[in-house]
Structure 1
Amino acid sequence: MGGWVVVWRRFRALVTWGDEVFSAAVQIVLPYWSAALALMLSAGVVIGRIDSALAARHRLDALAGGFGAVASPVRLLTPQTSLDVVTGWADPAGLLWSYLAVDLILMTLLVVLLLIVRATVQRQLAEGGSQDPEAPRRAAAAQALGWSGLALGGYWVADLLETAATVGLGLWGEDVDLQGGTAPGVAMLAARAIGGVSLLKWVGLVLAVVPVLLVASSFRSLRDRALTGLGALRGNVLVGIVLVALFLALGGDIGRQIDDVFSHAAQSPWKIVLATGLATLTSWVMLRGGMRCVAAFRCTPAVSAVTAPRLRRTLVAGVVLVLLGVSAVLVPALEAGRATFLALLLVPGVALLLWTALSWPSQVRGLALHAGAPRADAPAAWVWLLAALPLLLLWLGLLRAITTTWAVNEHPPGAGMFWWAAALGVLLVVFVAINQGRDLAAGTEPGWTEVAAWLAVSGVALGVSALPFPAAVWTGLGTVGVVVWFALVSVCGLTGLTLLGDRWAVRGALAITRVRRMPVILGLVLWGLVASTIDTDGRYYDVELLDPGRASTQVSAEVAFTRWYVGEGAPSAPTYGPGDVRSLVLVASSGGGVRAAFWTQEVWDCAFGAGCSDADQADRDRMQDVFFASGVSGGAVGLALVAAHERSGQEPATTFSHDFLAPAVAALFARDLPNSLLRLPLPGHDRSAALGDAFTEVEPELARPLSWAAGHTPYLALNATSVEDGCRFTLSTLTQASPQTRCTGVLADVPSHGPGAAPVRQGNRYLCDRDGVPQEVSLATAALVSARFPFVSPTGTLRNCQGEETFVLDGGMFDNSGGSSVTNVLEAIGPRMENVNKRQTFGCVVPRLLIIDSTFAPTASTEPDARPLQTLGPGLAVGAFYGNRSDRELVAAARTVEDAARQAKDDCGAGDTLANVVTIFPVAAGGAAAPLGWTLAQSTQATMREQLPTETNCQELPGQVPAATSTGPATDSTDISPSEQGREEHLRRLCADIQAVHGWLP
């Protein structure tokens, strides 16, 4: 027993010594905590992108995974998965060494910051003194914190061992076959050891952090100090939450939009200067406003008793507002502004009446007279941290974009990105260095003039921003600049509202809640929610229609097929005769934002133009045999652009060099959010309309009616989803379904001949104004109705001439492939196609399907899913069913085409061996993957273009397969870099597929 006592005492001495060492180290780095925090966040961004690059850059058919898939406690049980991931990494040496270096920095800074937090808690515990009744509990808590320092040291050592071992395993896997020979036994043991060290690392982190959190939450003085800071800076906290959410919430595929937005902005020195200047100004305003809010929070507002005359005046005001609101609702001439009157008159009137009724008892009137001083002073750290956020997040976003471009994409970062990063880094350091040492101002009560000044600046800026500027103003500023600009406007407005709440004393019924400050911001939020609830008219989000008196025109699928077959509207009559195979080309283009729009246009030019030809020749007119094209979301936008260019005969402009996201974001902040409170009946001003204006300014032909696109260009179907019944909602130049007005989502509107046909609601029947007059919709609006994906675009309202409304969202909510419309149309024209094939007057019609899919296909297998929890099984199954619906619709369309083509070839006796269904899609080999948003940087465009074949590189590919016999990949034994295998294999397939498409057409 004595030996164990000695060991225990020595261990306690070691803990005490370690605690003293850590405390001394903290005192050295304590003044630089903000720099350490900024560096740690930067390292976290970099290491996250490196890990994503490891998962993206892999060998063909290997198991895809990053560093976290290997260094995980679960690998104690499944070490084979670690070996599969490691052997799948292609050329990982540079990324692994970079990961080791950055991880060492990251973990060191994390430990330093945790030690600073621990030291702060220890200092707060010591402030109580020996006379404090809680002194014994404080002493015990301080002793408990001693173990956390030692645990942090263990965490740092374990993380270093884990990272170094994983890097070593990855480098070893490059030279040795870990799956065969004598290596597997040792490799398996190494993988298990990494899992064990990873488990120890997380145990150490828990032992280090949990005691600090428990102690900090157990003492009221510690909690009050932190919460007081957040309460005093509630306006800045809201702005910070929004900025951080914009940076963090866009994960996965959409998250690459952050990288592309910054890459796009870095292409323009003007955008760089404006964004940086606005971010610096925003940080300065947040600093000054935050210091003022803290000073105001230290004061207690002057409180006077709530008198009966004041309550009577409030009662009269509430009654007057309610009567005015109700009267406005009953006046027919004011019908358009009914929701506005309800929001601005009835809601505040009811609120005043409610407050008066609850405050009338004499016991309630004096509750606010006993308001005391703040329980604690707000710490200055909150002010500096929140004020630095605009510059810091701008720096982190740019750093993320640079790292992504370096680690994942093939194109190196531009010089503008590096200069921008350097300037931002210097500004951030200067900002923190100048302001961190300042003391907060003494508590002074804000005056009404000061409050009005803050609100006036914000209101004027917001009002000017809401004006109908040309979209080029916002695209010129760029998305980054737009977000920072509205952060600046929001900071001014929320600072004014915060000071107003501190200046306006809580009285009467509100004092029952024990709130110390008037909840002005919360009141406005609740006001907006109530106003949105009572506004059932929804005029603001009406889909924009063209001038009255011009109804949308459609033809049936059967009539459209007959016109196509005889060449009506084509530049020349058909040259086919009996026995000739004539391809009826159908196109399905999937969704995917601007990526899908760009990919659709590029693939179309490659398949039906001269986009994939190296020769300087005029485009062959292959368009007259392209019968029908169905698009969803970004694919619908791409088809609209194709139709506009083909119908007008103009060359495509540099459409995708513009930032289309910026006008939508500007309309969201300047119009849609304020109008959630005002409820102004201003259709055509929401963010979806702003996005449409941005496209029509760049491509004026998109402003023409949808029916204008019909002609020798294909008939179009632009697919959305109706919210109320979840059915496909199609704006089209031909009719797919029977003349019914409603779709139940089960069997309504399904053509009787064809089990594969899908329900559809004919959108052209919902193009009437509120007076019941049929109208037309522009090509841009029709395409963007299909691309209304929250929260970039709102749900749009359309109605038929009988007044029935429908609400539409992105077509990908129902079917993101566009295959459903292809199935419907082919089933509808099937009998007539059989009839013409019996005569073969203008050739034998064989249907073909070109699928344009913008989804980046992985070239690696995925880790098998673990058995789901029984309680989550049903929900996971429902989610999987919904997620795979687009694939099922596309498979149904492809099967319908294959069956019809086989039948046509049998009826005509044609010996055609070309593929009937061709899919053109990009792959993620090497990590290249464009975002889903509405910007596309030049480097991203170049990366996607490289995935399309040209005549030269198709001829140079070894092992190329003839297009007439196969469209699958060919085997190749050439010795190429593993990181290029996926791209070359994919290019080989694309060459055969494009040749097959060219074989369809004359």
Structure 2
Amino acid sequence: MPPTSLFSWLGRVWAWIPAACVLLLLLFVSLLEVDAALGRIEAPGYPSATLGSLRLDATSQEAREDRRTAWCVWTETLPDETSPTRVQGTSADKGPADRVDECLKAFRNAGTAGRPFEPKTEGEQARQLIRVYVVLDLFFVALYTFLFLWAVRRLRSRLPRNPDNESIATNDPVAASLAIGSGWPVLGSLAGFLFVVELVEDCCQLALSRHGWTPDEVDRLGDVAGLASCAKWLLVALALVLLGLLTVRTRVLSTWGWPRYIGLIRLQAALAVVLLLLLTGFGMDQVQDALLALPDRVGTAVWTPVAALVFSLLLWRSVHRTALTADKAYKPVPQGYLALLAALAFVGGLYWLRLRAPAALLAFIVLLSALGGAAWRFGTQEGERGIDEALETATSRAEMIPEQDVRRAGLLSTARLLAALPLLALGVFAVRAAVATAVVGPHRPAAIALAFCGLACALVGVALPAGLEWAESKWSWAKPPTDQDRTSQPPTARDSKSQLYTVLAVFCVVFVGVSIYTLTDDYRWSLPAHAGPLAVLTFFLCVLLVLLNELQRWSERATPVAGFRLLGLRRTPVFSLLLVWFLLASSIDVQGNHPVRVTVDSTEAGPADLPDLTEQFDHWLDANCATAPAKGPLPLVVVAASGGGVRAAYWTAGVLDKLFPPTPITPAPDSGCEPTDGRAPVFAVSGISGGSLGAISWLARPRTNDPAHHRWVFGADHLSAPLAWMTYVDLPRSFIGFPGKDRAAVLEQSWEGRQQELKEDFYATWQRRGPYWHPLALLNGTSVESGCRVLTAPVRLGAFDRPVGPTSCARRPEDGTHGEKGGPTLIDVRGGFLCGRQDVRRSTAALLSARFPYVTPSGRLGTETCDSTVKKDARARAWLSVVDGGYVEGTGSLTAVDLFNELKPLVDCYNQVAGAAKCGQRRARTRKVELVLVQIDNGYSSVASETPPGRSGELFAPINGLVRAYGTKDANARQRAFGAFGCGNYLRLPNVRGPGAQAPLGWSLSNSAKENLDRQLKAMKDTRGGRLTLAGQRADARARCR
């Protein structure tokens, strides 16, 4: 078949276009993800690179150096997991940086330029990624070239023609020029050259993924690929210019009828876009990991596509409900009813403060309507100014769009297209989440299955509009309302058209109701955790769509009251009123509905009697048998655990379990030492956000040998339950203000359901001293009122915050008394905002450090619940709002340094004692104590070097400086800790980036993410010992510091 005939046939067969465009989109996002996975392969001290980031100036030496470095990093960094003989960290292989350095030397050494490379690691993951990238790119090139040819031929047929309709108009020079440019000689040459250069580039990249190349051959292949890439982008630019000119000249966009009716479906379009944006993740990796977790559980694998399908059908039918349904217009709400509602809202506001907002709003409308001439009565409003005209306008809006209206066909087709978007978006983003993991793992089979399921879901989305169009022509429940339905008496035909809409709405409401019911009490099973976070959000959008759609339909049918008519409004502005209600309610109820859960100790000696730091130091010395004869110094370990949600909790608990396992240790019978466990060397853990949660879980866990304990506790879905409570309960509560637990309590109960010890009181752990040593928990939050650190800890470290208050932490040092010491800008929770025998649960203490923005609300602490004696104190009127500790800094090392400053005099005093008690010490030293910091980081911090940025323009210099300065807060805290503890006593245990699945910042982990962290935990070893120990890590640190 000739090309012209082929495209003419395809022009008549439009069904293939959506599928081809979706396939092109899938290939594009897959290419981006595979390329991004290559960029996550890093070697210390060398820049990371992707295939798309390499320089286009292929002939320059800088571009050649970039390609060499990228090739060496890709092929020499990661060990070959299939070959156990190639392992990083052996005596013959010092690490990835050295291997990359040797690889680059081979390029520069003329004597080795002709010798084939002998890589020590094979770089199989990078090679596999490059091969997959090339295969995907070949399909992508073939498809977009074909679509480009088809689009140009279609646009060319729309160019102005001569009266004979056989040739392009010769009197139009622009059309004539475009006809020449879009003719087969020029168009075929452009497409052919474009395909050839893409093929050359892909062939060179595929060749570079093979073994046995010499440095010279690698350079030549890189040069050819670079030249082909330059030519490719030049040809792509020409193709885009040609498409743009044809589009403008043919005015094809002006033929679309969307501007005539898009206002009628603005709600459906907005919520569809909201779902699309949610699935993109807004730059966060939690959504992508939630998609990757779909095959992990049957519930999420079933409920997520079901929720997307329900949302699709509701989008479709809600358009019919909005514009294609005939309803009766309403008269204005009588003035008396408005005044009565305002009075009832005001009375309710005496108990629920947020009800004062609708009371004030309704009162304003009543007064405005009075100015507009409304009568003070409960009956009809005949005789009011402008009511007849307004009622006539409302009646016309309540009518359906008739069949002869040109907008009707456009609305029906747009409704079907909107219905395709949820399934299409779910499929595309599922493929994006799965593709890199499907190539390099971990859990490749599940990722491959997800990729195919995502492809199927996207294709179902493509086919859905055609299926709905067929259903509209065959089945009565799917047919849109007609003019005959509008006049049917009784309206049985009209009612049958809304049955599907009603059934779907009821189904969504039932899902929401069951979700709330299973979360109301501390149930072991909940529907949101079973369905997954994506299903929870999608069902929320379904309910929101129905609710707002009915409100919008009511505003179209209802005649506005006199007050709105006075302002010139033709309909009741329900959405604006809701927004004003929300803003007013938030302003009126400044204390909010998110108090921190507080417990009361029923024993006589409540947690107010806590030991001071000196007593805790003495207890630690006893637990570590400091007076027993032994060789070497005794390390006093302070742990700093970085934030990062459940990823940080999982990593922190896993590292601590491996380095300090909580198994019992029985001392020798004649040693005189106390029984203890493997946690004894740790004096305190300073945690931020998820690091605090991991630390408190490790501190609270039983004294048993269970290496998988962290996986049981934090491997569960802790996101869906608080997300459901936030959308189903807390969001309506923000309008009304009814009492009850909030999503923070739901999250705490989710943790407690996996580890019962987290229900126990926090401060009581140290108030009641037992036979074992309990490391101190220093959990860091942030004060909303002052921006200072908020410390939940059994000891007091604050310096300039007496008396304690929400802003006292900012007091100047010179205002303190002589000899004041401790951590500045730090608020003590126990000393200022808990009183008497009050305590908090361990889960609550952890969440005070881990309150993410909006996912968990700020926690309000105050003394309004204290007894009458304490209320006489001035501090009883104080209250504090606490958010995530990462607002100040995300490493936990700032408070660790504050603790160091308090401990160092005690340690120095103890170390100076030689056979007699001095400095207040009650024992003789036999072993020297050394302060050691273990920094646990979990954020996949990059080890690659960064390209020096150019000078910022003066216009954006202040903004760039502010952003860069904020970005250094964690580095500043780490460097301060490094300087305090010293190089040999600073141990950093981070996780590292890799091309496969990465654990997200959030509250749920996929199996692939958990496996990634577990593999890194398993691979974490000392250089010489073959396992992870404190002594081995200290020896490695001292070796690096020489």
Match of 1:675 in 2: 733
2:156–2:182 Cα contact (<8 Å) kept: no
2: distance between equivalents of 1:191 and 1:753?
Answer: 67
Change (3 A) 1:534 1:200: farther
Match of 1:813 in 2: 887
Secondary structure of the residue that 2:790 maps to in structure 1? strand
Match of 1:642 in 2: 698
Match of 1:500 in 2: 554
1: distance between equivalents of 2:660 and 2:369?
Answer: 69
2: distance between equivalents of 1:65 and 1:530?
Answer: 50
**TM superposition shift of 1:273:** 2.6
**TM superposition shift of 1:412:** 1.6
2:303–2:532 Cα contact (<8 Å) kept: no
Equivalent residue runs for 1:560-709 within 5 Å: 560-567=615-622, 570=623, 574-576=626-628, 581-609=633-661, 621-646=677-702, 652=709, 654-682=712-740, 684-685=741-742, 687-709=743-765
Q: Which stretch shows the higher mean deviation, 693-702 or 173-182? A: 173-182
1:767–1:798 Cα contact (<8 Å) kept: yes
1:561–1:829 Cα contact (<8 Å) kept: no
Match of 1:778 in 2: 841
Q: Structure 2 counterpart of 1:759, which letter?
A: T
Q: Does 1:89 align with 2:37?
A: no
Match of 1:827 in 2: 901
Which of 825, 828, 832 is 1:759 aligned to?
825
Q: Does 1:347 align with 2:361?
A: yes
Which of 486, 493, 516 is 1:466 aligned to?
516
Q: Which stretch shows the higher mean deviation, 457-466 or 47-56? A: 457-466
What RMSD over aligned residues (CA atoms) do the two structures have, in Å? 4.8
Match of 2:945 in 1: 861
Change (3 A) 1:917 1:479: same
2: distance between equivalents of 1:125 and 1:365?
Answer: 52
Q: Structure 2 counterpart of 1:838, which letter?
A: Q
**TM superposition shift of 1:747:** 5.5
Q: Does 1:883 align with 2:967?
A: yes
Match of 1:871 in 2: 955
1:155–1:201 Cα contact (<8 Å) kept: no
Secondary structure of the residue that 2:876 maps to in structure 1? coil
Q: Which stretch shows the higher mean deviation, 703-712 or 624-633? A: 703-712
Equivalent residue runs for 1:129-168 within 5 Å: 160=195, 163-168=198-203
Q: Which stretch shows the higher mean deviation, 96-105 or 842-851? A: 96-105
Q: Which stretch shows the higher mean deviation, 225-234 or 203-212? A: 203-212
2: distance between equivalents of 1:154 and 1:799?
Answer: 75
2: distance between equivalents of 1:639 and 1:727?
Answer: 22
Q: Does 1:393 align with 2:432?
A: no
Question: In the TM superposition, what whole-angstrom CA distance separates every residue of 1:88-134 from its partner, at most 9, and x where no partner exists?
Answer: 433544433433443354466567778999999999999xx9xxxxx
Change (3 A) 1:380 1:326: closer
Secondary structure of the residue that 1:847 maps to in structure 2? strand
Q: Does 1:32 align with 2:16?
A: yes
**TM superposition shift of 1:776:** 1.5
Question: In the TM superposition, what whole-angstrom CA distance separates every residue of 1:573-617 from its partner, at most 9, and x where no partner exists?
Answer: 544359862221100000111111111111111111289x9xxxx
Secondary structure of the residue that 1:345 maps to in structure 2? helix
Equivalent residue runs for 1:895-934 within 5 Å: 895-898=979-982, 915-934=984-1003
Q: Structure 2 counterpart of 1:541, which letter?
A: H
Q: Does 1:287 align with 2:343?
A: no
Change (3 A) 1:432 1:96: farther
Question: In the TM superposition, what whole-angstrom CA distance separates every residue of 1:750-797 from its partner, at most 9, and x where no partner exists?
Answer: 9987999542111224544xxx87621111111112111123212222
2: distance between equivalents of 1:456 and 1:885?
Answer: 50
Change (3 A) 1:549 1:111: farther
Which structure 2 residue ranges, 5 or more long, are not aligned?
Answer: 76-123, 164-168, 375-383, 474-478, 666-674, 864-874, 915-923
Secondary structure of the residue that 1:249 maps to in structure 2? helix
Q: Structure 2 counterpart of 1:397, which letter?
A: F
Q: How many residues align?
A: 897
**TM superposition shift of 1:431:** 3.6
Match of 1:946 in 2: 1015
Which of 31, 37, 44 is 1:47 aligned to?
31
Which of 219, 226, 247 is 2:279 aligned to?
247
1:152–1:208 Cα contact (<8 Å) kept: no
Change (3 A) 1:146 1:575: farther
Match of 1:376 in 2: 407
Match of 1:337 in 2: 352
Change (3 A) 1:794 1:349: same
Match of 2:480 in 1: 441
**TM superposition shift of 1:375:** 7.9
Question: In the TM superposition, what whole-angstrom CA distance separates every residue of 1:184-215 from its partner, at most 9, and x where no partner exists?
Answer: 68855753552353244245325524764797
Secondary structure of the residue that 2:938 maps to in structure 1? coil
Question: In the TM superposition, what whole-angstrom CA distance separates every residue of 1:879-930 from its partner, at most 9, and x where no partner exists?
Answer: 111111112112212221229xxxxxxxxxxxxxxx3111111111444532
Secondary structure of the residue that 2:444 maps to in structure 1? coil
Equivalent residue runs for 1:141-540 within 5 Å: 160=195, 163-171=198-206, 173=208, 187=222, 191=226, 194-195=229-230, 197-202=232-237, 204-205=239-240, 207-209=242-244, 212=247, 219=254, 222=256, 225-251=257-283, 254-255=284-285, 257-296=286-325, 314-326=334-346, 334=350, 336-339=351-354, 341-354=355-368, 357=371, 362=385, 366=389, 369=392, 376-377=407-408, 378-414=410-446, 417=450, 420-421=453-454, 424=457, 427-428=460-461, 431-437=464-470, 438=472, 441-442=480-481, 462-467=512-517, 468-469=519-520, 470=523, 472-473=525-526, 474-504=528-558, 519-538=573-592, 540=593
1:229–1:382 Cα contact (<8 Å) kept: no
Q: Does 1:719 align with 2:780?
A: yes
2: distance between equivalents of 1:583 and 1:368?
Answer: 83
2: distance between equivalents of 1:620 and 1:773?
Answer: 31
2: distance between equivalents of 1:963 and 1:926?
Answer: 29
**TM superposition shift of 1:411:** 3.7
Q: TM-score, normalised by structure 2?
A: 0.75
Change (3 A) 1:850 1:235: same
Secondary structure of the residue that 1:850 maps to in structure 2? strand
1:587–1:850 Cα contact (<8 Å) kept: yes
1:148–1:212 Cα contact (<8 Å) kept: no
Q: Which stretch shows the higher mean deviation, 600-609 or 429-438? A: 429-438
Question: In the TM superposition, what whole-angstrom CA distance separates every residue of 1:124-153 from its partner, at most 9, and x where no partner exists?
Answer: 999xx9xxxxxx9xx999999979968998
**TM superposition shift of 1:656:** 2.6
1: distance between equivalents of 2:1005 and 2:187?
Answer: 44
Equivalent residue runs for 1:980-999 within 5 Å: none
2: distance between equivalents of 1:956 and 1:839?
Answer: 34
Equivalent residue runs for 1:16-31 within 5 Å: 24=8, 27-31=11-15
Q: Structure 2 counterpart of 1:917, which letter?
A: Y
**TM superposition shift of 1:696:** 0.7
Match of 2:596 in 1: 543
**TM superposition shift of 1:965:** 7.9
> Quick check: which one's helix share is greater?
1
2: distance between equivalents of 1:74 and 1:466?
Answer: 60
